[in-house]
Structure 1
Amino acid sequence: MHNQKAWITKMLTSNWFHQCFIPQVSQYLLEKGLPFKILLLMDNAGGHATDLSREGVQVEFLPPNTTSLIQPMDQGVIRAFKALYTKNTLADLVACVDAAQDDEDEDFNLKAYWRQYTIATCLQNIQKALQEMKPATVNASWKKLWPDIVYDDKGFTPSEIQHSAIRKSVQLAAIIGGDGFGDMTTEDVDELLDCHSQPLTDADLEDLTKSASEEESEGTQEETQENVEETGLTLERLAKFCNHMKEAKEMLQEWDEDMVRSMQFCNKVDDITTPYRMLLDRKKKQRQQLPITMFFQPRKKEPVPPASTPSEEIEEVEET
């Protein structure tokens, strides 16, 4: 479940509550032999649905403007995680650049890489970041709230993990090189980590409710026009196939109450369809690089009338 701007919305909150939270908590309580009695604490974010209700579930919202004070994850853990995620993403990009150079792939570019960066890739980088997040780091996040339970945190504090990941990110960016990477500084990475820290405005929330499917369908129609091939895997057919695969994944994620099972299926579909999505990207690129002259036909020259002699011009004037 996602949207293009990566912000939580009321619809996503409601879907998560009914299709993910309730089934998983129910299974957990059943395994533990506990009654269905749940207290769900949520922060007071503008994108959170306030009409969540279920028998046996009590939902309470934390007071506004207290997130940075009373939530342990906001004592540096989230920022450290973002820094680790950024470092892992750049490391994956470096690996792809090296592989392209080894294969002498001249078509590789950063834009193509980001097009292939799917939610499955994102989840893999999240898993790597979580594995690097030590238990001592989470323990240290309680230092301001409950210092008595924090043991020796030297070398594992959220700030130390964060600074180490940022320095590594700058080194990886230098390896990639080019505009925006070769001159990257620690301040640039800090700015990147903070770019999504501001709360959403009402205008942002209204913008998020717009249907992304309409924008994608319009873009696909524009891309599939003027197709230069008529048989085989044409640009139009590849785009249609990829859209059908995407719709199938979305339907399964909506219908299957087992989120883990549906994600496993979607990951396998992504792996199987990767060659076709790459082929689609190449055909799009080839179409963009077609010479503009091929879309025009040579214009036939009109015959030029013979020039009149001076004596003929004088005769015409006299007759007039």
Structure 2
Amino acid sequence: MSKRVKAIPMDNSEKKKRKHLSLSIAQKVELLQKLDGGVSVRHLTEEYGVGTTTIYDLKKQKDKLLKFYSDSDNQELMKNRKTLHRAKNEDLDRVLIEWIRQQRSKDMPLTGLLVMKQARLYHEELNIESECEYSEGWLQKFKKRHGIKYLKICGEKASADHEPTENYIDEFAKIISDENFSPEQIYNADETALYWCYVPRKTLAMADERVPTDYKDAKQRLTVLGCANAAGTHKIKLAVIGKSLYPKCLKGVCNLPVHYYANKKASVTREIFADWFNKHFVPAARAHCKQAGLEDNCKILLFLDHSSAHPPPELLVKSNVFGIYLPQNVTSIIQPCDQGILRSMKSKYKHFFLNSMLASVNRGLKIQDFLKEFSLKDAIYAVANAWNDIDKSTLKNAWHRLWATMMFENYLADEDFEGFIDSNEKTMISKLLTYAKSLSAESVNKLEEADIEEMLNIDNDAPIEHPLSDGEIAEMGLNIDEYEDTSSDDDIMSTDQKISIDHMVKICDQLIAGLEQCAFISKQEIMAIYSIKKKLLRQKPVLKR
């Protein structure tokens, strides 16, 4: 009789087969965020019940997953959705979802019939050969693909409500007290449009200068993203969005005092904001808090307004730094950057611009010649300098509505703070008018207060999220590259010519000699030029090797 072979006991872990789990889109995004935050793969396999292969596959799909999640209309629906089903025609899907987003930003009512009708129009404009009925069934699949729960929405109120404001101030106070936040850890960011070389046409008319059809005026815009903390001790380097990715005036420039982005409309997009948040804001805010003596991984909050150019809050999470949205109907009342910070920066910029124009006219230059010489690079450096000139008290006092308890004895009433901003502007206008009237050129000595106020206010209501026309949206389907080299011959201050180290050292010597004769230049400022000269001299042996 044959002997029965004794079965080899199996380990319990081998007996158990891993239960097949299918993660939702929201869970996949959450997992990727934790992976970016330093959580180990082993820990994530245990937490989510998936294998290491699944995690590495998700990592490969990261860009697609995050874009799909960001573009979704309703992140709650992403908790149930598990796959990235693609549309048969991705071009049409992309332009149609952009059209819906823009209609909503304009508070336009939407219905299923309107969306189906617009889809048929884009079908023709994009010259799609395959047939599609764009029926109710198609609409439901489209909505599911993009996480759209409802088409009909109520738009953001044009004017903010004061009762909800009081409620949110209480809610904000609770957030601060519950986790004992310091003003060093609380930030606010916002965008503003800047017409960087605008001159009132009346001023040109007084100078008997014909306004050419290609006149660089309000069309030459930048969007500027400013961000600072509530303590007023940390200003993040500005992000500036222009129209040209490679303007001639920036050719050869290695370092700029801003983070520069570009697209056709010179406006903020979700992709630009997400890049700024992850690559620039998070590292800078973390470094500042560490320098301020806070814990290495302390929590940092960035408060934002609701904008279609901002990604959903779930995507603004990194290294214990979180983006938080203010309620839509109270933003204009309590958002710190709306309380004069960006206005003050733009006023300082325009003071510099107009002062430079007056000085050029005084040297015998025509206004048009000055405008041709004043390049995008000049504007970038000027706005960066204006941002640096915003003092701590202005930054801190802008929180007087949202965080009044932080002010203590320095608390400012609304009218006091607004009066402070107005007073600074009036002083600036007065100085410019005095300077203009002292000049002999008739083109500027008749400048009036209303002309300067026009310059200050021309871009107040300029859109930050630049709406595209239906035709431009359709073009997205034919050409997805939103970056376009729109640089013009106006940007004449090019750096094509390489300047030698020896020549730069000589310029430093001349500059130091001249500055030493100026009583209004400090020793520290002169020493800064010496430091630059020292760095240049250190580079010479390296270059000769």
For residues 266-317 of structure 1, what are the alpha-carbon distances to aligned partners after superposition, in whole Å with 9 as ceiling and x for unaligned?
Answer: xx9xxxxxxxxxxxxxxxxxxxxxxxxxxxxxxxxxxxxxxxxxxxxxxxxx
Indicate the residue corresponding to 1:190 in structure 2. 453
- Given that 2:306 and 2:328 are in contact with CA atoms closer than 8 Å, whether structure 1 keeps it comes out as yes
For residues 117-158 of structure 1, what are the alpha-carbon distances to aligned partners after superposition, in whole Å with 9 as ceiling and x for unaligned?
Answer: 345433543455456545444455455552754368799811
For residues 140-185 of structure 1, what are the alpha-carbon distances to aligned partners after superposition, in whole Å with 9 as ceiling and x for unaligned?
Answer: 5455552754368799811211221123334445548565x45443
- Distance in 2, matches of 1:49 and 1:166, equals 39
Distance 1:75 1:45, change over 3 A: same
- Distance in 1, matches of 2:417 and 2:277, equals 38
- Given that 2:305 and 2:335 are in contact with CA atoms closer than 8 Å, whether structure 1 keeps it comes out as no
- Given that 1:140 and 1:158 are in contact with CA atoms closer than 8 Å, whether structure 2 keeps it comes out as no
Q: 1:15 aligns with which of 247, 266, 275?
A: 275
For residues 191-224 of structure 1, what are the alpha-carbon distances to aligned partners after superposition, in whole Å with 9 as ceiling and x for unaligned?
Answer: 33333232638763577997463444xx67xx9x
* Correspondence list, 1:47-58, <5 A: 47-50=309-312, 51-54=315-318, 56-58=320-322
- Given that 1:136 and 1:157 are in contact with CA atoms closer than 8 Å, whether structure 2 keeps it comes out as no
Distance 1:28 1:76, change over 3 A: closer
- Given that 2:309 and 2:465 are in contact with CA atoms closer than 8 Å, whether structure 1 keeps it comes out as no
- Given that 1:41 and 1:62 are in contact with CA atoms closer than 8 Å, whether structure 2 keeps it comes out as yes
Distance 1:157 1:110, change over 3 A: same
- Distance in 2, matches of 1:48 and 1:41, equals 12
Aligned-pair distance for 1:17?
Answer: 1.4
- Given that 1:85 and 1:126 are in contact with CA atoms closer than 8 Å, whether structure 2 keeps it comes out as yes
Q: Secondary structure at the match of 1:157?
A: helix
Distance 1:9 1:118, change over 3 A: farther
Indicate the residue corresponding to 2:117 in structure 1. none
Q: 1:169 aligns with which of 410, 421, 432?
A: 432
- Distance in 2, matches of 1:47 and 1:21, equals 16
* Correspondence list, 1:1-320, <5 A: 1-4=240-243, 6-29=266-289, 31=291, 32=293, 33-35=295-297, 37-50=299-312, 51-54=315-318, 56-98=320-362, 100-101=363-364, 108-126=365-383, 128-130=385-387, 133-138=390-395, 140-142=397-399, 144=401, 146=404, 148-150=408-410, 157-174=420-437, 175=439, 177=441, 181-198=444-461, 200=463, 204=467, 211=482, 213-216=484-487, 242=496
Distance 1:20 1:67, change over 3 A: same
Gaps of 5+ in 2: 1-239, 244-264, 498-531, 533-545
Distance 1:129 1:30, change over 3 A: closer
Q: Secondary structure at the match of 2:241?
A: coil
AA aligned opposite 1:82? K
Aligned-pair distance for 1:45?
Answer: 2.8
Distance 1:214 1:39, change over 3 A: same
- Distance in 2, matches of 1:163 and 1:113, equals 25
For residues 66-114 of structure 1, what are the alpha-carbon distances to aligned partners after superposition, in whole Å with 9 as ceiling and x for unaligned?
Answer: 333112332334323322221122222233344x44xxxxxx4434433
Indicate the residue corresponding to 1:227 in structure 2. none
- The structure with the greater share of residues assigned to strand is 2
How many residue pairs match? The answer is: 219
TM-score computed with the length of structure 2 as normaliser: 0.33
- Distance in 2, matches of 1:188 and 1:148, equals 39
RMSD: 4.4
TM-score computed with the length of structure 1 as normaliser: 0.52
- Distance in 2, matches of 1:130 and 1:11, equals 24
- The structure with the greater share of residues assigned to helix is 1
- Distance in 2, matches of 1:177 and 1:48, equals 47
- Distance in 2, matches of 1:157 and 1:88, equals 20
Identity %: 21
